[in-house]
Structure 1
Amino acid sequence: MANTLQFDLVSPERRLASVAATEVQIPGADGDMTAMEGHAATITTLRPGVLRVTSAEGVKSYAVTGGFAEINATSVSVLAEKAVPSEEATGTVLDDILAEARELAAAALPEDRDMAEKAVNDILAMKAGLGH
């Protein structure tokens, strides 16, 4: 597949993904970002939210609580504090991630409040999309 980059997602519990991706949408602490082949070298911390990966198999979503992503021209490596694939996300797991996102939103500085509230809304949307 042309125009791909290697995507790896790991959490303390396990490796969740290792695929050739065309794009990776990352909930960065300083704003959402999309990494594609040829991206400038970047390291960003993650905020609670939904990470989406587009590959030959389609789009796969993961709820993440934090961690960091290292991006370069040929790969994206995400080390997440906690990450759950959408198909494994139960109501309880998403409730825990949602509670953490809400705590961060409540404590956010005024200039960060919009982004913090977006994290809450992203997780609510994932929860609604899964029928939870």
Structure 2
Amino acid sequence: MPARSRTTEPLYRIKADLFKCLAHPTRIQVLEVLAAAGDEGAPVTRLLEVTGCEASQLSQHLAVLRRSRVVTSSRTGNAVEYWLAEPLVAELLVVARAFLMAGLRPGSEQLRAARELPPLPGASPQAVLDAIAARV
């Protein structure tokens, strides 16, 4: 395998920073809600309801996602709406879920719980999820 060059090292660092940004269950949950909301986005009140977080905690998680440019927001008066910054984020979530589900033991409680999660929108990665669901 070739050694990392000076030109590719920053890309690896950026990618690692992205995965660090995703490294919290609440942030993943927020992203899945936003993926399901599509172009409509989701108000902070909905994200608070779904995550069960305190407003200050959710605000910190959303700040991490904004700094990493994974989500965008818009304020109208006191209401703040959030969206995925890029549709590819939704596909990343689908592929990650498919990858994780593929490793779960058939009939396990985790697999049952994973199947009960709301569906994620996605293009070709959804086919991966469907294939895994049919196999297990």
Flag the structure with higher strand content. 1
Asked if these proteins are the same fold (TM beyond 0.5), I'd say no
Flag the structure with higher helix content. 2
- Taking structure 1 as the reference length, the TM-score comes to 0.33
Larger Rg: 2
